[in-house]
Amino acid sequence: MEDVRSALTAYVTEGEPPLGLSTSGVLASARRSRRQHLLTGAVALVVVALALGLAVVVLPHRAPVAGPPCPSSSDTRSALVDRLSCVVGKAVRSLLDPEAQITRLTIPGETPPEDPFHLIADAIGDAPGEAIFHMGVRVTDSLGSGSVYVLILPTGNAGGPPCGEPDEITCRTEPTPQGTMWLSTLRTGDAVKNRVALAVPNALVQFWSTSSGVLEQKDVHLPEQRPEPTLTLAQVRQLALTPGLGL
């Protein structure tokens, strides 16, 4: 191995040019590099701190993502269901906590659709709008489980649910540019329900929200699963006024 060692030593020593590096030059470069290194670290630290601060300030108040627009076609029953489901889904989601879990309320044996807001259309005629459109979702958040329902009836100029029901807590009517509105808060089983109906020219649009995550059905006593209905009466009113819910 000595021959290899000697050959390598000769390779690096024979004809070796004079040293082009000086102590002062390298030291100056090293000091400059060290300063830049420290400065870069400090700047990076400041940037990270600013980014974290910005995230803390901005993220909790960020606006919900708009998402793609809803389809506008109502030529067929299926297209109308898609359009209404999209409008209802967007409107309800915009009022809920982004962390809330939304699941479809179903009767035994019913398979929940992929989109929990997909409306059921019970036909009462042949035209696309001649059907009863409805659905309900359970909403579970940090306060417990509640629900939100929608019912759209193709009964032009029909009245809303009249005041004076047995379990009524409050009830009133209100004229709006879109049509007459009925607003009530009722007791249903152990739960409470906020309900708003709006009579538009060709339909009655009704939303309600309860403080129980159990499906509302005839002869079913609803347990209270959160202190208040998922949506306040004002929020339910806002839902009823959502544009694009006519048939």
Q: Which residue of 34, 47, 55, 97 would you call a contact of other proteins, by CB under 8 A?
A: 34
Which residue number, 27 or 48, has a Cβ lying nearer to other proteins? 27
3-state secondary structure of 200: strand
Which residue number, 33 or 73, has a Cβ lying nearer to other proteins? 33
Which residue number, 8 or 44, has a Cβ lying nearer to other proteins? 8
d(CA 115, CA 92): 13
Burial degree of 208 (CB within 10 A; 0-12, 13-18, 19+): buried
**157 forms part of the interface with other proteins (CB under 8 A):** no
Other residues' Cβ atoms within 10 Å of the Cβ of residue 40 = 10
* Stretch binding other proteins (CB under 8 A), from 2-10, 89-97, 194-202, 233-241: 2-10
**31 forms part of the interface with other proteins (CB under 8 A):** yes
**40 forms part of the interface with other proteins (CB under 8 A):** no
**39 forms part of the interface with other proteins (CB under 8 A):** no
Which residue number, 14 or 114, has a Cβ lying nearer to other proteins? 14
49-75 burial code (b ≥16 CB/10 A, e <16)? eeeeeeeeeeeeeeeeeeeeeeeeebe
d(CA 46, CA 114): 45
**172 forms part of the interface with other proteins (CB under 8 A):** no
d(CA 119, CA 80): 10
Name the token pair of 76: 């067929």
Which residue number, 15 or 243, has a Cβ lying nearer to other proteins? 15
Site for other proteins, rule CB under 8 A: 1-5, 7-17, 19-21, 23, 26-27, 29-31, 33-34, 37
